[in-house]
Structure 1
């Protein structure tokens, strides 16, 4: 079977000393998933409506539209992004935009504001779809469109890529496209080099420290306080471990979920909690990848 090699060992009991800037015990990256407008929709040529990661838990409408789930997504693009953005800009902090290409096309205004705030753009597929259902050539074409989009917006090609729902071909295609890193792994607390593709860094994402759990029917968060407590406990544990072995944490955010007024307070509280500690590096994802490349280069390249 094609696809990435499984690695059950990782760093084991010999994790490298991350050597984050200014002696930080932990690197923290916040990823704002810019998906609204890139989800499944018959208006985009899909066979059915979206069903995933929103406050509306519904089966798909085959061949038609679901106006409730459409409106749930539009809340994020119309309102939620601005709440998330202000939480960072009021504190002088940066974050990363997990950019679904089509979402950036239909809603350029919030994206422009995030770029103006200094956020980096991290392609998250051209559409927010399952890439295992595409041919290799179709997926490669979408990756190329994302690269062109980011280059047009910023003047430079993106460093990293995150499909979210990758295929067996995704990692190889990312390497072939010239990316420094991929984020389609959830299996470590530190970056590491791909065992299959020399020179391709894998920067772990996370699905537990992720507000998508608000959209998991019957198995996720209900209150913003629950999200805050889980993030706080995760941060505190990794910060403690970081005394001799610094770690990293990724926090995934969605404007249609955490951008709601009853939940946004969790983001304010966790940012304030992190900022009260010494030796914390709240960083863009591309800066973490550059640091790792410089301080821990792949010995095979």
Structure 2
């Protein structure tokens, strides 16, 4: 087996071989990642009403758009269910299918009742194929004035999907989303994205933001087309997906404690500069009764704080576009060293 000299320089040297020039990457050379962000002294921001923290609940609606041989995929879904590390079946996986069906049949409506009864704004990350299979749920989202951001055509991993296929999926997702909801999506989140996802998204005008990033506690701008494009970072930590991962939450108490601690830290920091707290939910996960109580308790806790702004992502985007749109050029990466 060939040894990668950049990854295993000691082993490479033991063979009497010198390190290749490409192993010595100059850290001052152009780099496509932004490791600096706002830095030590971020610009001043404010939230509506002088609030300290924006608290944003996302309900991911994916059930019916996941991997399945019924959808033309090679195998069944293996991600984010009650099963730990399941195998993909080259046939229908009846148990996996029913775990997802719970989300659309029962879990969604439990979450819907909670948020509507408390009049809490919500953003839905809606997979268009999934939404097409449950028009009653889509209608309820609209009646509740929930934002429905586009979560792609399918809920699959796009990492190795050819660029032309992903481009066509994105085009169809936007068209289908508009037909299903009656409105063009203003936000986008693929989730399991590819190196091509954002550049493909920027081919479409009209998006106020995307959330395919986890890089900050605040929205930030990147270069997009002829102007600037807003990123509203999402979360994989204050997210019920950790109920389905080995290093995640074992019970609702852990989930509640983590959400509360996250809120407390950001709320305290918000006295000097406002922060954003995302909470990611899935109908088939947080919609289960044993986890649902933790979400109720967290809502009780948040609603005791007058300086918390409960909002939709599109509300954040509109606030940033109105007050903080950059009129200076925005770079994809940090300033380059000479």
Q: Same fold (TM over 0.5)?
A: yes
Deviation at 1:196, TM superposition (A): 6.4
CA distance in 1, matches of 2:187, 2:328: 20
Deviation (angstroms), 1:150: 2.9
**How many aligned residue pairs are there?**
297
> Which of 223, 228, 234 is residue 199 of structure 1 equivalent to?
228
TM-score, length-normalised on structure 1? 0.95
- Corresponding residue number in structure 2 for 1:249: 277
How far apart in 2 are the matches of 1:149 and 1:129? 17
**Unmatched 5+ stretches in structure 2:** 1-30, 330-338
Question: Does the alignment pair 1:18 with 2:45?
Answer: yes
> What does 1:138-217 correspond to in 2, within 5 Å?
138-178=165-205, 179-195=207-223, 198-216=227-245
Larger Rg: 2
Q: Is 1:231 matched with 2:263?
A: no
1: CA distance, partners of 2:131 / 2:328: 36
Question: 1:267: which partner in 2?
Answer: 295
Question: Does 2:103 correspond to 1:76?
Answer: yes
Provide the C-alpha distance between the structure 2 equivalents of 1:250 and 1:268, rounded to a whole number of angstroms: 16
For residues 167 and 300 of structure 1, what CA distance do their matches in structure 2 show? 28
- CA shift, 1:42, in A, is 0.3
Secondary structure of 1:96's counterpart equals strand
**Kept after mapping to 2: 8 A contact 1:16/1:245:** no
TM-superposed CA distance for 1:243, in Å, is 0.5
Q: 1:145, CA displacement in angstroms?
A: 1.8
What does 1:274-293 correspond to in 2, within 5 Å?
274-293=302-321
Does the alignment pair 1:221 with 2:228? no
Secondary structure of 1:273 counterpart: helix
C-alpha distance after superposition, 1:27-72 (max 9, x if no partner): 1111100000010000000000000001012433342121111111
TM-score, normalised by the number of residues in structure 2 = 0.85
With 127-136 and 250-259 compared, the bigger mean Cα shift is at: 127-136
> How far 1:175 sits from its partner (Å)?
1.1
Q: Determine the structure 2 residue equivalent to 1:45.
A: 72
Asked if structure 2 preserves the Cα contact closer than 8 Å seen for 1:47 and 1:63, the reply is yes
Alignment of 1:52-63 (within 5 A): 52-63=79-90
Task: Please list the CA deviations of residues 152-194 of structure 1 after superposition, one character each: whole Å capped at 9, or x if unmatched.
Answer: 2444321111000111111011111122211000010000001
Corresponding residue for residue 132 of structure 1: 159
RMSD, aligned CA = 1.5
Range with greater deviation from structure 2 (229-238 or 4-13) = 4-13
